[in-house]
């Protein structure tokens, strides 16, 4: 257990080198962004490796090093998958790469008609491309999160968010994604990302998020 602080110090050094490495300092903005995400993956992996080793009375420093390597590999895989999805999907689908997961945000105004949970035909093709990407990168699980604005009752919005998350999951399942990889969650109106006081904000809050989470192999 005494080796954990040493490992955490090593992880801190990993983080600091992101600002001093010549590749980071001299690269383009895109290069620096990719470098940052890979570093994030390495740091997350290092923390996980150190924590596991410490709990099991193992070598926390070795655990951190192995975890950092695994995290960097995950970060590189996510970078590739992100780039491919950006090239394939509609511009209205927002993609965020946090270094340890991909978050695809689909506005519900293009996914569904008002108060409906039938996926619009225009988005079926994009979801089929997401399913194909998931098949190409099988070492991940998928969370599908439905969100609404606060128009109407909270109970109605909760049910609608669940049905819409399940509808998106059904399209992925139809296109070959195993049910064991998918978890659907309805958030209702509880997690807005903008104000519900105007139409523009409510439009942002009506969304479905597909979260791609790499798994250890």
190 pLDDT above the threshold of 90? yes
CA separation (Å) from 159 to 90, 104, 145, 204?
A: 27, 22, 12, 19
How much of the chain, in percent, has pLDDT values that exceed 70?
66
Round to whole Å and give the CA distance between 141 and 57. 29
Round to whole Å and give the CA distance between 192 and 206. 8
pLDDT in tens, 62-108: 445 544 555 667 888 999 999 999 999 989 999 999 999 999 999 98
165 pLDDT above the threshold of 70? yes
Tell me, rounded to whole angstroms, the distance of Cα 90 from its chain centroid. 18
Question: Which pLDDT score is estimated for 113?
Answer: 85
Question: Which pLDDT score is estimated for 21?
Answer: 52
pLDDT in tens, 111-124: 998 888 999 988 99
The whole-chain average pLDDT of the chain stands at: 79
Mean pLDDT value of segment 160-183: 97
141 pLDDT above the threshold of 60? yes
Round to whole Å and give the CA distance between 166 and 184. 6
If residue 187 lies in a helix (H) or strand (E), which one and from where to where?
strand 182-188
Round to whole Å and give the CA distance between 72 and 88. 25
Question: Contact at 8 Å (CB) between 53 and 62?
Answer: yes
Q: Give every CB contact of residue 55 below 8 A, 6+ residues apart in sequence.
A: none
Question: Which pLDDT score is estimated for 115?
Answer: 84
Banded pLDDT at 52 (limits 50, 70, 90): very low
């Amino acid at each position: 257990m005494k080796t954990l602080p040493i490992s955490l110090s090593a992880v801190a050094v990993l983080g600091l080198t992101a600002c001093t490495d010549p590749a980071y300092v001299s690269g383009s903005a895109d290069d620096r962004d990719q470098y940052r995400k890979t570093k994030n993956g390495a740091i997350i992996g290092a923390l996980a490796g150190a924590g596991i080793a410490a709990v099991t009375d193992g070598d926390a420093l070795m655990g951190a090093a192995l975890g950092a390597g695994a995290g960097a590999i995950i970060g590189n895989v996510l970078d590739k998958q992100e780039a491919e999805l950006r090239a394939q999907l509609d511009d209205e689908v927002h993609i965020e790469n946090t270094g340890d997961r991909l978050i695809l945000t689909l506005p519900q105004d293009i996914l569904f008609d008002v108060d409906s949970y039938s996926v619009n035909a225009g988005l079926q093709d994009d979801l089929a491309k997401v399913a194909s990407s998931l098949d190409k990168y099988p070492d991940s699980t998928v969370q599908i999160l439905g969100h609404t604005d606060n128009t109407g009752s909270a109970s109605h919005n909760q049910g609608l968010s669940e049905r819409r998350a399940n509808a998106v999951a059904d399209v992925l399942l139809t296109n070959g994604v195993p049910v064991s990889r998918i978890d659907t969650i309805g958030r209702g109106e509880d997690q807005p990302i903008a104000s519900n006081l105007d139409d523009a904000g409510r439009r942002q809050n009506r969304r479905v998020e597909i979260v791609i989470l790499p798994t250890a192999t």
